[in-house]
Amino acid sequence: MINDGERREAQTENVALVTGASRGVGRGIALGLLAAGFRVYGSGRSIEQADLPREIRRLRCDHLQDEETAAVFEAIRSECGSLDLLVNCAWGGYEKMVEGGAFTWAAPFWEQPPHRWTGMMDAGVRAAFVCSAHAARMMTPRHRGLIINISFWAAQRHLGNTIYGIAKAATDKMTSDMAVELRPFGIPVISLYPGLVRTESVLAAAKSGMFDLSTSESPEFIGRVVNALFHDPNLMARTGQVLVAAAVAKEFGVLDVDGSSPPALTLGDV
């Protein structure tokens, strides 16, 4: 139970919710925002077992279940009274890439298993839509807030499989249209593209030579970029746009945790 004193203290901080914070990019964003001074909430199906510091408030949630998503926002409203930043990172579809001994991830659309659509479109795009709707209800009365949707270059060219491209293109279109409707309230919405991120799965794949990590980014790097965007006084000029995280980092002088400056990938690079 949060007492009144703790609630007043929370209201002096910027409050952020990162969905899909149990692992990977979402976990890195949560860590980056915590280091930047945010009061961070992280949601996810396995968030209770996640390797996160105790300062991050864990809210167990399957974002396929609307009532569980609603409970996350109600908890933030009860404990803080407001929400300043939502980062939609919850995502499915990377599970079961190999099924029955076959690598189905890159299969043509007519051979794709139905669960991949559910993982990417429902646990990904739809979950971001529902979370953004809850966040907007908290942000619009205050005319304050920022929504960031984590997306990728698959929105702009074929990468991996058709469902992946559909999901990322839908995410970018959702960003664009939400920005139009939230503009009168001064609330920007951004699609943010990471580069090659050293997530748990990428590090495992790199051991087999699948990835060259020389230009990769730490998961925390994306959190640092999100923090820079949040504090950009001119961010409304870019609402509705797709931004490349490493390019934003160069603009604001943001470095990775090891002091490096990851290169900004282009469509040609991917």
User: Distance between CA atoms of 220 and 185, rounded to whole angstroms?
Assistant: 30
Between the CA of residue 18 and those of 79, 115, 217, what are the distances in Å?
Answer: 16, 24, 19
- CA 19, 186, 126, 82 dihedral sign is positive
- Catalytic site positions: 164
CA nearest 145: which of 134, 153, 130, 155? 134
Coil, helix or strand at residue 255:
coil
Coil, helix or strand at residue 222:
helix
User: Distance between CA atoms of 213 and 148, rounded to whole angstroms?
Assistant: 26
Buried b (16+ CB within 10 A) or exposed e, 154-193: bbbeeeebbbbbbbbebbbebbeebbeebeeeebbbbbbb
Instruction: For residue 200, give the amino acid letter.
Output: E
Instruction: For residue 158, give the amino acid letter.
Output: H
